[in-house]
Protein backbone atom coordinates (compact mmCIF):
# COMPACT_ATOMS: atom_id res chain seq x y z
CA UNK A 1 0.00 0.00 0.00
CA UNK A 2 2.23 2.84 -1.26
CA UNK A 3 2.15 6.13 0.64
CA UNK A 4 3.64 9.53 -0.11
CA UNK A 5 7.11 8.77 1.29
CA UNK A 6 7.33 5.65 -0.88
CA UNK A 7 6.56 7.73 -3.97
CA UNK A 8 9.29 10.22 -3.11
CA UNK A 9 11.77 7.36 -2.79
CA UNK A 10 10.59 5.92 -6.13
CA UNK A 11 11.16 9.27 -7.82
CA UNK A 12 14.68 9.41 -6.39
CA UNK A 13 15.47 5.86 -7.51
CA UNK A 14 14.26 6.61 -11.04
CA UNK A 15 15.96 10.01 -11.33
CA UNK A 16 19.10 8.67 -13.13
CA UNK A 17 16.87 8.15 -16.20
CA UNK A 18 16.16 11.89 -16.43
CA UNK A 19 17.43 13.27 -19.70
CA UNK A 20 17.24 9.89 -21.44
CA UNK A 21 15.17 9.08 -24.51
CA UNK A 22 12.52 6.34 -24.55
CA UNK A 23 13.57 3.46 -26.81
CA UNK A 24 10.37 1.41 -26.52
CA UNK A 25 7.15 1.12 -24.49
CA UNK A 26 4.99 -1.91 -23.69
CA UNK A 27 2.58 -3.28 -21.11
CA UNK A 28 -1.09 -4.16 -20.64
CA UNK A 29 -2.38 -0.61 -20.15
CA UNK A 30 -4.91 0.60 -22.71
CA UNK A 31 -3.50 4.12 -22.60
CA UNK A 32 -1.77 5.29 -25.83
CA UNK A 33 1.69 4.89 -24.32
CA UNK A 34 3.33 4.23 -27.69
CA UNK A 35 3.47 8.00 -28.16
CA UNK A 36 6.19 8.08 -25.49
CA UNK A 37 8.67 6.42 -27.87
CA UNK A 38 11.50 8.83 -28.74
CA UNK A 39 10.33 11.31 -26.12
CA UNK A 40 12.83 12.42 -23.47
CA UNK A 41 12.17 12.09 -19.76
CA UNK A 42 12.67 15.59 -18.41
CA UNK A 43 11.78 15.17 -14.76
CA UNK A 44 10.16 12.83 -12.22
CA UNK A 45 7.92 14.33 -9.57
CA UNK A 46 5.32 13.32 -7.00
CA UNK A 47 2.09 14.58 -5.52
CA UNK A 48 1.00 12.49 -2.57
CA UNK A 49 0.55 8.95 -3.85
CA UNK A 50 0.94 9.98 -7.51
CA UNK A 51 4.19 9.49 -9.42
CA UNK A 52 4.50 12.02 -12.25
CA UNK A 53 6.70 11.38 -15.29
CA UNK A 54 7.37 14.60 -17.23
CA UNK A 55 8.36 13.98 -20.85
CA UNK A 56 9.02 16.70 -23.40
CA UNK A 57 5.54 16.26 -24.93
CA UNK A 58 3.56 14.32 -22.30
CA UNK A 59 2.99 13.98 -18.58
CA UNK A 60 2.15 10.48 -17.29
CA UNK A 61 0.51 9.94 -13.91
CA UNK A 62 1.11 6.62 -12.16
CA UNK A 63 -1.27 5.92 -9.27
CA UNK A 64 -0.33 2.78 -7.33
CA UNK A 65 -3.64 2.58 -5.46
CA UNK A 66 -3.63 -0.23 -2.83
CA UNK A 67 -1.46 -2.92 -4.38
CA UNK A 68 0.65 -1.25 -7.05
CA UNK A 69 4.42 -1.53 -7.20
CA UNK A 70 7.38 -0.96 -9.47
CA UNK A 71 10.83 -2.32 -10.27
CA UNK A 72 13.82 -0.89 -12.08
CA UNK A 73 15.84 -2.82 -14.69
CA UNK A 74 14.55 -6.25 -13.62
CA UNK A 75 11.02 -7.56 -14.13
CA UNK A 76 9.45 -9.15 -11.05
CA UNK A 77 9.06 -12.92 -11.59
CA UNK A 78 5.50 -13.97 -12.34
CA UNK A 79 4.21 -10.40 -12.57
CA UNK A 80 2.56 -8.84 -15.61
CA UNK A 81 3.53 -5.17 -15.96
CA UNK A 82 0.87 -2.59 -16.64
CA UNK A 83 3.58 -0.43 -18.19
CA UNK A 84 7.22 -0.91 -19.21
CA UNK A 85 9.32 2.07 -20.28
CA UNK A 86 12.65 1.15 -21.86
CA UNK A 87 15.38 3.79 -21.92
CA UNK A 88 18.00 1.41 -23.32
CA UNK A 89 20.18 0.50 -20.36
CA UNK A 90 17.41 1.38 -17.89
CA UNK A 91 13.86 0.03 -17.73
CA UNK A 92 10.92 1.00 -15.52
CA UNK A 93 8.31 -1.69 -14.73
CA UNK A 94 4.96 -0.69 -13.20
CA UNK A 95 2.52 -3.26 -11.80
CA UNK A 96 -1.15 -3.21 -10.68
CA UNK A 97 -1.40 0.54 -11.07
CA UNK A 98 -3.40 3.19 -12.89
CA UNK A 99 -1.66 4.82 -15.87
CA UNK A 100 -3.05 8.08 -17.26
CA UNK A 101 -1.89 10.97 -19.41
CA UNK A 102 -2.53 14.41 -17.95
CA UNK A 103 -4.32 16.61 -20.44
CA UNK A 104 -4.03 19.74 -18.30
CA UNK A 105 -1.11 21.59 -16.81
CA UNK A 106 -0.19 19.83 -13.52
CA UNK A 107 -0.16 23.23 -11.78
CA UNK A 108 -3.86 23.56 -12.66
CA UNK A 109 -4.65 20.09 -11.29
CA UNK A 110 -2.57 19.75 -8.14
CA UNK A 111 -2.55 21.76 -4.95
CA UNK A 112 1.14 21.43 -4.16
CA UNK A 113 0.62 22.99 -0.72
CA UNK A 114 -1.40 19.91 0.30
CA UNK A 115 1.45 17.47 -0.38
CA UNK A 116 2.71 16.44 3.06
CA UNK A 117 6.31 16.06 1.78
CA UNK A 118 6.43 18.94 -0.66
CA UNK A 119 8.62 22.01 -0.05
CA UNK A 120 5.36 23.87 -0.73
CA UNK A 121 3.56 22.19 2.20
CA UNK A 122 1.48 24.87 3.93
CA UNK A 123 0.27 24.14 7.45
CA UNK A 124 -1.78 27.36 7.53
CA UNK A 125 -3.71 26.18 4.48
CA UNK A 126 -4.16 22.75 6.06
CA UNK A 127 -5.56 24.29 9.25
CA UNK A 128 -7.96 26.37 7.19
CA UNK A 129 -9.23 23.21 5.47
CA UNK A 130 -9.68 21.50 8.84
CA UNK A 131 -12.06 24.24 9.96
CA UNK A 132 -14.57 23.05 7.38
CA UNK A 133 -14.29 19.39 8.42
CA UNK A 134 -15.03 19.59 12.14
CA UNK A 135 -17.84 17.00 12.04
CA UNK A 136 -15.67 14.40 10.33
CA UNK A 137 -13.90 11.52 12.07
CA UNK A 138 -10.16 11.91 12.51
CA UNK A 139 -9.45 8.65 10.65
CA UNK A 140 -11.19 10.11 7.58
CA UNK A 141 -9.53 13.51 7.94
CA UNK A 142 -6.04 12.04 7.89
CA UNK A 143 -6.82 10.08 4.73
CA UNK A 144 -8.29 13.11 2.93
CA UNK A 145 -5.81 13.72 0.12
CA UNK A 146 -7.04 17.29 -0.35
CA UNK A 147 -5.70 18.07 3.13
CA UNK A 148 -2.94 15.52 3.74
CA UNK A 149 -1.86 14.36 0.29
CA UNK A 150 0.43 11.36 0.68
CA UNK A 151 -0.89 10.10 4.01
CA UNK A 152 -1.99 6.48 3.93
CA UNK A 153 -3.18 3.85 6.35
CA UNK A 154 0.17 3.24 8.03
CA UNK A 155 0.79 6.90 8.79
CA UNK A 156 -2.81 7.31 9.97
CA UNK A 157 -2.66 4.40 12.40
CA UNK A 158 0.74 5.28 13.83
CA UNK A 159 -0.05 8.98 14.32
CA UNK A 160 -3.34 8.23 16.06
CA UNK A 161 -1.59 5.82 18.41
CA UNK A 162 1.21 8.27 19.18
CA UNK A 163 -1.37 10.93 20.08
CA UNK A 164 -3.63 8.41 21.87
CA UNK A 165 -6.62 9.30 19.71
CA UNK A 166 -9.38 6.88 18.76
CA UNK A 167 -9.87 6.71 14.96
CA UNK A 168 -13.60 7.51 15.04
CA UNK A 169 -13.32 10.51 17.33
CA UNK A 170 -14.79 13.64 15.75
CA UNK A 171 -12.33 16.39 14.90
CA UNK A 172 -14.47 19.00 16.70
CA UNK A 173 -13.77 17.30 20.06
CA UNK A 174 -10.15 18.43 19.79
CA UNK A 175 -9.11 21.92 20.79
CA UNK A 176 -7.50 24.18 18.18
CA UNK A 177 -4.13 23.59 19.82
CA UNK A 178 -4.65 19.83 19.71
CA UNK A 179 -5.64 19.98 16.04
CA UNK A 180 -2.40 21.82 15.34
CA UNK A 181 -0.50 19.05 17.15
CA UNK A 182 -2.32 16.43 15.05
CA UNK A 183 -1.34 18.19 11.83
CA UNK A 184 2.29 18.68 12.83
CA UNK A 185 2.69 15.12 14.10
CA UNK A 186 1.31 13.83 10.80
CA UNK A 187 3.81 15.97 8.87
CA UNK A 188 6.73 14.93 11.09
CA UNK A 189 5.83 11.24 11.03
CA UNK A 190 5.61 11.30 7.22
CA UNK A 191 9.25 12.41 7.07
CA UNK A 192 10.28 9.80 9.61
CA UNK A 193 8.52 7.18 7.44
CA UNK A 194 10.57 8.41 4.48
CA UNK A 195 13.93 8.11 6.26
CA UNK A 196 13.08 4.78 7.89
CA UNK A 197 11.96 3.29 4.60
CA UNK A 198 15.10 4.52 2.82
CA UNK A 199 17.15 2.74 5.48
CA UNK A 200 15.04 -0.47 5.22
CA UNK A 201 13.92 -0.20 8.83
CA UNK A 202 10.34 1.06 8.59
CA UNK A 203 8.55 -1.92 10.12
CA UNK A 204 10.75 -2.05 13.21
CA UNK A 205 9.43 1.41 14.12
CA UNK A 206 5.77 0.44 13.91
CA UNK A 207 4.09 0.70 17.29
CA UNK A 208 0.51 -0.33 16.51
CA UNK A 209 0.38 -1.29 12.82
CA UNK A 210 -0.19 -5.07 12.51
CA UNK A 211 0.48 -5.57 16.21
CA UNK A 212 -1.59 -7.89 18.38
CA UNK A 213 -0.53 -6.47 21.74
CA UNK A 214 -0.46 -2.78 22.64
CA UNK A 215 3.12 -1.76 23.53
CA UNK A 216 1.78 0.75 26.05
CA UNK A 217 -0.70 -1.24 28.18
CA UNK A 218 -0.14 -4.79 26.86
CA UNK A 219 -3.83 -5.04 26.06
CA UNK A 220 -5.23 -6.46 22.80
CA UNK A 221 -5.03 -4.37 19.63
CA UNK A 222 -8.36 -3.86 17.85
CA UNK A 223 -8.40 -4.27 14.08
CA UNK A 224 -11.51 -3.18 12.19
CA UNK A 225 -12.73 -0.93 9.40
CA UNK A 226 -13.47 2.61 10.53
CA UNK A 227 -14.83 5.85 9.11
CA UNK A 228 -16.67 6.60 5.90
CA UNK A 229 -13.74 5.25 3.92
CA UNK A 230 -13.96 1.85 5.66
CA UNK A 231 -10.19 1.56 5.90
CA UNK A 232 -8.65 -0.90 8.35
CA UNK A 233 -7.63 0.72 11.63
CA UNK A 234 -5.30 -0.77 14.24
CA UNK A 235 -5.77 0.79 17.67
CA UNK A 236 -5.93 0.19 21.42
CA UNK A 237 -9.36 0.58 23.04
CA UNK A 238 -7.72 1.35 26.41
CA UNK A 239 -5.10 3.87 25.36
CA UNK A 240 -6.86 5.64 22.49
CA UNK A 241 -9.94 7.36 23.81
CATH label of the domain that carries residue 70? 3.20.190.10
Angle (nearest 5°) at CA 191 between 187 and 196: 145
> In which domain, by residue range, is 26 found?
4-109
Q: How many domains does the chain have?
A: 2
Same domain for 87 and 188, yes or no, is no
Asked whether the predicted pLDDT for residue 1 surpasses 60, the reply is no
Same domain for 60 and 98, yes or no, is yes
Radius of gyration (C-alpha) of the chain in whole angstroms: 19
Same domain for 105 and 127, yes or no, is no
- Tell me the pLDDT band of 2, cut-offs 50, 70 and 90: confident
pLDDT in tens, 27-66: 999 999 999 999 999 999 999 999 999 999 999 999 998 8
Domain contains 40: yes
Same domain for 163 and 127, yes or no, is yes
Q: Which residue, 49, 18, 53, is CA-closest to 35?
A: 53
CB 143 within 8 A of CB 153: yes
Same domain for 191 and 223, yes or no, is yes
pLDDT value of position 136? 98
Same domain for 175 and 193, yes or no, is yes
Q: Which residue, 204, 225, 202, 222, is CA-closest to 212?
A: 222
**Domain of residue 198, CATH code:** 1.10.8.50
Amino acid sequence: MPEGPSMLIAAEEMSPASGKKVVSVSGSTKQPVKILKNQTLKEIGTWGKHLLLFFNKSVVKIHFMLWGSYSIDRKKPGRHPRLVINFGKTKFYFYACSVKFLEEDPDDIYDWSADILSPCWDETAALSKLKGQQNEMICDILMDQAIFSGVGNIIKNEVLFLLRLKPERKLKTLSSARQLVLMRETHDYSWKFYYWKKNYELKKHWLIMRKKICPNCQGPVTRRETGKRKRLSHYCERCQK
